[in-house]
Amino acid sequence: SDIGSQKDRVVTEEEWLQKWETGNIGFHKEQGHPLFQKYLDVLLNGRSGLRVFFPLCGKAVEMKWLADMGHSVVGVEVSEQALKEFFAEHNLPYCEEPVPEISGAKKLRSASGNISLYCCSIYDLSSSIVGKFDGVWDRGSLVAVNPCDRQRYVSLMITLMEKNSSYLLVTVSYDPNKHKGPPFYVPESEIKSLFG
């Protein structure tokens, strides 16, 4: 593998929670990601009323943008703080609901009903819980997943996709021997073998 010493690196759930608690969230983009704007037409493909999934969503501003365009947004994030900050920063009222299928999980749903954010591990989700999606915005998710969990992650993502869905994936390219990650280096060859 050409991912160097990264293949055995594991970042724990506690480490991610700590990043949110200490504000060490350099991965969050206040203005949204420029590639989202650039490729939004590819994601939407002229369609309206889509269901779009945000894996490891944090407090991504793009969720609000898509909801404002009339799409339904579903996200998953382990940090409840991140989800609450999302609703607070956009002045969106929301309610909290338990997720009966997942012990300890909760869903934060906007009052308008078109944004549902699950607070749990992504690996606890399934299409029977969240349904299937017309689009996925994977910015900072595949590259944040521990390298040993990539196959499990992609297998789950594939089960969440409708037949004609669009999957926008952002990765980063660098020498993995010079940076331990995350974000992790995911070579294009691996993306092709993971997604087929």
Q: Where are the domains of the chain?
A: 13-22+31-42+49-195
- pTM for the full predicted model: 0.95
Q: What is the mean pLDDT of residues 60-74?
A: 98
Which of 3, 7, 9 is CA-nearest to residue 177?
A: 3
pLDDT band at 89 (very low <50, low <70, confident <90, very high): very high
Q: How many CB atoms are closer than 10 A to CB 9?
A: 16
Annotated binding site: 16-27, 56, 77, 121-122, 139
Annotated binding site for S-adenosyl-L-methionine: 16-27, 56, 77, 121-122, 139
What's the order of all strands across the beta sheet hosting 51-54?
94-98, 106-110, 115-119, 72-77, 51-54, 133-139, 161-170
* pLDDT above 70 for 184: yes
Q: What is the mean pLDDT of residues 17-27?
A: 92
Q: What is the 3-state secondary structure (H, E, C) of the chain?
A: CCCHHHHHCCCCHHHHHHHHHHCCCCCCCCCCCHHHHHHHHHHHCCCCCCEEEECCCCCCCHHHHHHHCCCEEEEEECCHHHHHHHHHHCCCCEEEEECCCCCCCEEEEECCCCEEEEECCHHHCCHHHHCCEEEEEEECCCCCCCHHHHHHHHHHHHHCEEEEEEEEEECCCCCCCCCCCCCCCCCHHHHHHHHC
Q: With beta carbons less than 8 A apart as the criterion, state whether 119 and 105 touch.
A: yes
- Looking at every residue in the chain, the average pLDDT score rounds to 94
User: What kind of architecture, by CATH, is found in domain 13-22+31-42+49-195?
Assistant: 3-Layer(aba) Sandwich (3.40)
pLDDT band at 179 (very low <50, low <70, confident <90, very high): confident
- Two tokens at 192? 């092709």
Predicted local confidence at residue 180, as pLDDT: 87
pLDDT band at 187 (very low <50, low <70, confident <90, very high): very high
Predicted local confidence at residue 177, as pLDDT: 87
Predicted local confidence at residue 6, as pLDDT: 87
